[in-house]
Amino acid sequence: MTYTAGLVTILAAVWLLLSGYLDKPLLLGLGAASVAFVVFISLRMRIVDDEGLPIQLPAGLARYLPWLVVEIVKANVDVALRIVRPGLPIRPRVIRVRAGQRTDVGRVIYANSITLTPGTVTIDTEGDHITVHALTEEAAEGVLAGDMDRRVARVEGRG
Amino acid sequence: MTLEIVSSVLVIAGAIFAVIGGIGIVRLPDFFCRIHGAGITDTLGAGLILTGLMFLSPHWIVAVKLLAILVLLWTTSPTATHALANAALEAGLKPNVDETEEAPSSL
Amino acid sequence: MILAAVVAAIIVTMGLALVRAGKGPTVFDRILALNMFGTKTVLLIAVIGFVTDRPDFLDLGLVYALINFIGVIAVLRFSKYGNFADPDRERTS
pLDDT score recorded for residue C11: 92
Beta-ladder partners of C55: none
Contact B79 A88 (CB under 8 A): no
* Residue B71 CA from chain centroid, whole number: 12
Residues of C in Cβ contact (< 8 Å) with B65: 55, 58-59, 62
Q: What share of chain B is helix, strand, coil (3-state, %, to 5)?
A: 75, 5, 20
Per-residue DSSP letter, B101: E
C20 with B88: Cβ contact below 8 A: no
Q: What is the ipTM of this complex?
A: 0.79
- Strands A120-126, B100-102: pairing kind: unpaired
B35 → chain C, closest CA residue = C32
In a domain, C68, yes or no: yes
Beta-carbon count within 10 A of C23 CB: 11
Lateral strand order in the sheet of A129-134: A120-126, A129-134, A93-98, B100-102
Residue pair C10/B18 in contact by the 8 Å Cβ criterion: yes
pLDDT in tens, B27-46: 888 888 888 888 888 888 88
Q: How many domains does chain C have?
A: 1
CB contact under 8 A, A98 and B20: no
In a domain, C59, yes or no: yes
Distance CA C62, CA C20 (A): 26
Q: Which residues of A touch B28 (CB under 8 A)?
A: 83, 88, 90
For chain B, say whether A121 makes contact (Cβ under 8 Å).
yes
Q: Which of B37, B74, B99 sits opposite A83 (nearest CB)?
A: B37
Range of the domain at C19: 2-81
C-alpha span between C57 and C44 (Å, rounded) = 10
Tell me if C91 is assigned to some domain: no
List the subunits that have 3+ CB pairs under 8 angstroms with C.
B
Q: How far is A83 from chain B (nearest CA, A)?
A: 6
Give domain status of residue C38, yes or no.
Answer: yes
Cα distance between residue C40 and residue A116, in whole Å: 17
* C93 assigned to some structural domain: no
Tell me if C92 is assigned to some domain. no
Assess whether pLDDT exceeds 70 at residue C23.
yes
Strand, helix or coil at A86? coil
Rounded to an integer, what distance in angstroms lies between the CA atom of residue A25 and that of residue A116? 41
Cis peptide leading into A66, omega within 30 of 0? no
Within-domain flag for C88: no
What are the pLDDT tens digits along chain A (159 aa)? 778 888 888 888 888 888 777 778 888 888 889 999 998 888 888 877 777 777 777 777 888 888 888 888 888 888 888 888 887 777 888 888 887 777 778 888 888 888 888 888 888 888 778 888 888 877 777 778 777 878 887 777 654
